[in-house]
A and B are shown apart, each in its own frame.
Chain A
């Protein structure tokens, strides 16, 4: 079965909730991981905390909160994309 057939079958509804949630959280999780890796390769958390006057925060804490901040951003992007991809007919119905 080709992907096109499947796309036709799925229509606008009937996509399992688990897939809908996964399609937002999962790609953003991967991207957040990459972003965290790249960002903290270039910037040492200790130097960042020194500059911002939070020298008491450990590197581990900066990495972790950095990862979740990135994840929040990337998952928001994914969610917004899904939201705007909804067909406009949907919007008309509510008027």
Chain B
């Protein structure tokens, strides 16, 4: 165990514990110095942090069949996610996916409280890394507080400059990785090494880097308290069966320091030795013993540190623990309840629907654009001709040859003749081909000035790969 741990009891007196949360919320901000903590939940968080960070920094470099596995290619308006390619037309799926993600978050919240905040939120993940860097450079919590109170000396300047330099380099690398999801990261790296990043790429690297540095280095818990919408509405998903972190009042109070081996019962004390370590480790600077507060991000640092203290004192662990309101009153926690059943059903239905929709997605698109310059023209044979530009979008993973047909969309309009350069159109995988075509018809067939026609595009190798689009055919009205 490290020396800044819950080693000595009662607490080191030289410290200035943060003001209790209620008074602090809208007062001027006081810097929170979270004490380093070890334990099962800290380990779980480190696991979450390392997994998520490796994913973020690693996935950008993954290749997939000659391209980047995950590339949101904004310049080309195509999103590659492993084997799938998404087009702007697929925004619908993305919105669907976001709804599923939101529901999953609500579901987890109603069951297990703010697990997301404590272990998986990017704000937590990056703050954790920044805190780690800070500790490596600036030392323990006590050393940091002491240094911040002292006057500026060359030594202090050096330590602070080192910390910020490491933070900034790390932030810029984060910004670089972020941009690497939008511009192929290997090309980006080459451009970076040769100092010829495009102005916008440079800008976004710095913008995202600055946001990382600001949020994880400076803002930290203030992001959770002031900026996070989820923190504001998560209580709506809470009920008496939701997992929260709570201090056991019954068992802990009255609080007070005591010598080791004192029988708390005889001394008229509860199990809480009032060491304030739970306050010192709290990343948002609250006192969990004041009850459930919306600033609590559920990181369980106080659980870890209190368990160690209880262990040292020879008391039972769990004075601060994961529990539910119902369990605190001696009842059994219900996992299956209307709320969770509803979320489960919705999640299953929506996820299954999305998977089905993606599997049934037609990897073919067709836009019909009428020639704007002329309404119609008459050919030398006396036929009426309309000119169109067709945009054929092949969203499939391989090239296709398509056959185009045209017909009247309403009964009575027959004899439409399609004129194109080749009898078919060939589109490589993931490409858009512009195809000028003209449609001719004998004016005797036209009953109206504006007629509905339809273009049907069918892949030569797969009849199911077929799409129909409506268009207008204009002509003169024949007097008879």
Interface of A toward B, CB cutoff 8 Å: 1, 3, 6, 9-10, 14-16, 18-19, 22-23, 26, 37-38, 40-42, 44, 58-61, 63-64
CB distance from B203 to the nearest CB of A (A): 7
Of B74, B222, B294, which contacts A63 at CB under 8 A?
Answer: B74
Task: Specify the chain B residue showing the minimal Cβ separation from A65.
Answer: B200
Of A16, A42, A63, which contacts B28 at CB under 8 A?
Answer: A16
A-B contact list, 12 entries, CB within 8 Å: A1-B22, A1-B293, A1-B294, A3-B294, A15-B26, A16-B26, A19-B226, A37-B91, A38-B91, A41-B91, A42-B88, A58-B200
B259 proximal to A (CB < 8 A): no
**Interface bits B71-114 vs A (CB < 8 Å: 1, else 0):** 00011010000000000100100000000000000000000000
CB distance from A47 to the nearest CB of B (A): 10
Are the CB atoms of B91 and A14 closer together than 8 Å?
no
A-B contacts besides A1-B22, A38-B91, A63-B74, 15 pairs, CB < 8 Å? A6-B25, A6-B26, A9-B26, A16-B27, A18-B29, A18-B219, A18-B222, A22-B227, A23-B226, A26-B227, A40-B88, A41-B88, A44-B77, A44-B88, A60-B74
Of B26, B77, B226, which contacts A14 at CB under 8 A?
Answer: B26
B170 proximal to A (CB < 8 A): no
**Interface bits B150-179 vs A (CB < 8 Å: 1, else 0):** 000000000000000000000000000000
CB distance from B353 to the nearest CB of A (A): 21
Number of interface residues of B (CB under 8 A): 22
- With the chains together, A1 CA to B452 CA distance in Å? 65
- With the chains together, A42 CA to B77 CA distance in Å? 11
Q: Which residues of B contact A6 (CB under 8 A)?
A: 25-26
CB distance from A87 to the nearest CB of B (A): 17
CB distance from A95 to the nearest CB of B (A): 29
Task: Specify the chain A residue showing the minimal Cβ separation from B25.
Answer: A6
**Interface bits B351-365 vs A (CB < 8 Å: 1, else 0):** 000000000000000
CB distance from A64 to the nearest CB of B (A): 5
- With the chains together, A59 CA to B203 CA distance in Å? 15
